[in-house]
A and B are shown apart, each in its own frame.
With several copies, the nearest count.
Chain A
Amino acid sequence: MKIMLDMTPKTITERKSLRVNPAKTCQPVGAMYAALGVHRCMPHSHGSQGCCSYHRTFLSRHFKEPAIATTSSFSEGACVFGGGSNLKKAVKNIFDIYNPDIIAVHTTCLSETIGDDLNALIRELEIPQGKLVIHTNTPSYKGSHVTGFGNMMAGFINYLSEKSAVSNGKIGIFPGFVNPGDMHELKRMAKSMGVKYIMFPDTDGTMNTPITGDYQMYPKGGTTIDEIRQLGGAKHILALGELTSMIPAMEIKKKCDVDSTALPYPIGVEATDKFLMSLSKLSGKAITEELEEERGQLLDIMVDSHAYYGDKRVAISGDPDTVLGLAAFCLELGMKPKYMLTGTPDEKFTKLAKEMLLKYGVTDCIAKANADLFELHQLMKNEAVDLLIGGTHCKQIAKAEDVPFVRAGFPIMDRYVHSYMPLVGYRGAMRLAELMGNALMDRQDRDAEDKDLEMVM
Chain B
Amino acid sequence: MDAREAVLDKYSGRVFKNRKDHIVELDEAGVPKEIASNSRSVPGLMINRGCCYAGCKGVVLGPLRDTVVITHGPIGCGYYTWGTRRNKADAPDGRNFIQYSFSTDMQETDIVFGGMKKLHQAIKEAVEIFQPKAVMICSTCPIGLIGDDINAVAATAEKEFGITCIAYSCEGYKGVSQSAGHHIANNGLMKRVIGSAKDEIPKEKKTFRLNILGEYNIGGDGWEQERILKKIGYEVVAVLTGDGSYEALTHAHTANLNLVQCHRSINYIAEMMKTKYNIDWIKVNFIGIDETIRTLREIADYFDDETIKKRTEEVIAEELEEIAEEREFYRNKLTGKTAGIFVGGSRSHHYQHLLMDFGVKTVIAGYEFAHRDDYEGREVIPDIKLDADSKNIEQITVEPDQQLFHVALDKARFDELRKKNVELEYYKGMFKDMGDGTITIDDFNHYETEKVLEIFKPDIFYSGIKDKYMIMKKGVPSNQLHSYDYSGPYACFKGSITFARNTYLSISTPAWNMMTPPWRTKSTLEGTLGDENYA
Contacts and interface: CB of A to CB of B under 8 A. Distances in A.
Verify whether A and B have any Cβ pair under 8 Å.
yes
Interface of A: 1-7, 9, 13, 15-22, 24-26, 28-29, 44, 47-51, 53-54, 56-58, 60-61, 64-79, 86-87, 89-94, 96-98, 108-110, 112-114, 139-142, 144, 209, 211-216, 237, 239, 242, 245-246, 249-250, 253, 258-264, 269-270, 273-274, 276-278, 280-281, 286-287, 292, 295-296, 299-300, 302-304, 306-307, 309-311, 331-334, 343, 345, 360, 374, 393, 396, 413, 449-452, 454-457
Interface string B140-176: 1110111000000000000000000000000111101
A307 B504 CA distance: 10
Contacts of A262: 530-534
Contacts, number: 389
A53 B80 CA distance: 10
Given A50-B53, A53-B48, A110-B173, A20 B80 contact: no
B391 to A, nearest CB: 10
B272 to A, nearest CB: 24
Given A96-B12, A212-B516, A280-B519, A451 B472 contact: no
Contacts of A65: 469
Contacts of B100: 5, 7, 20-21, 374
Contacts of B80: 25, 54, 57-58
Interface in B110-138: 110-111, 118-119, 121-122, 124-126, 128-130
A54 B74 contact: no
B47 A71 contact: yes
Given A91-B44, A280-B524, A334-B509, A287 B473 contact: no
B90 interface: yes
Contact of A19 (B41, B104, B516, B534): B104
Given A22-B78, A303-B512, A53 B54 contact: yes
A168 to B, nearest CB: 18
Given A98-B446, A269-B511, A277-B527, 17 more contacts: A5-B99, A13-B128, A18-B70, A22-B78, A22-B101, A58-B80, A93-B45, A94-B44, A109-B111, A113-B145, A140-B75, A239-B534, A274-B528, A299-B514, A304-B472, A374-B100, A457-B486
Contacts of A295: 517
Given A53-B49, A307-B487, A311-B505, A66 B44 contact: no
A287 B88 CA distance: 48
6 contacts: A5-B100, A7-B100, A48-B171, A237-B534, A393-B82, A455-B84
Contacts of B122: 17-19
Contacts of A261: 529-530, 533-535
Contacts of B119: 17
B54 A242 contact: no
Contacts of B90: 449-451
B166 to A, nearest CB: 17
B468 interface: yes
The 10 closest A-B pairs by CB, nearest first: A50-B51, A26-B76, A90-B44, A93-B44, A455-B83, A213-B475, A249-B534, A48-B172, A259-B535, A310-B505
A78 B74 contact: no
A22 B502 CA distance: 33
B385 to A, nearest CB: 17
A51 B174 contact: no
B470 A215 contact: yes
Contacts of A216: 473
Contacts of A71: 43-44, 47
Contacts of A452: 88, 220
B317 interface: no
B141 A108 contact: yes
A79 B44 contact: no
Nearest to B109: A141
B474 interface: yes
B104 A302 contact: no
A258 B54 CA distance: 43
Nearest to B464: A57
A25 B97 CA distance: 20
B417 interface: no
Interface string B173-184: 110110000000
A96 B15 contact: yes
Contacts of B14: 89
Contacts of A58: 80
A307 B35 CA distance: 36
Contacts of B467: 66
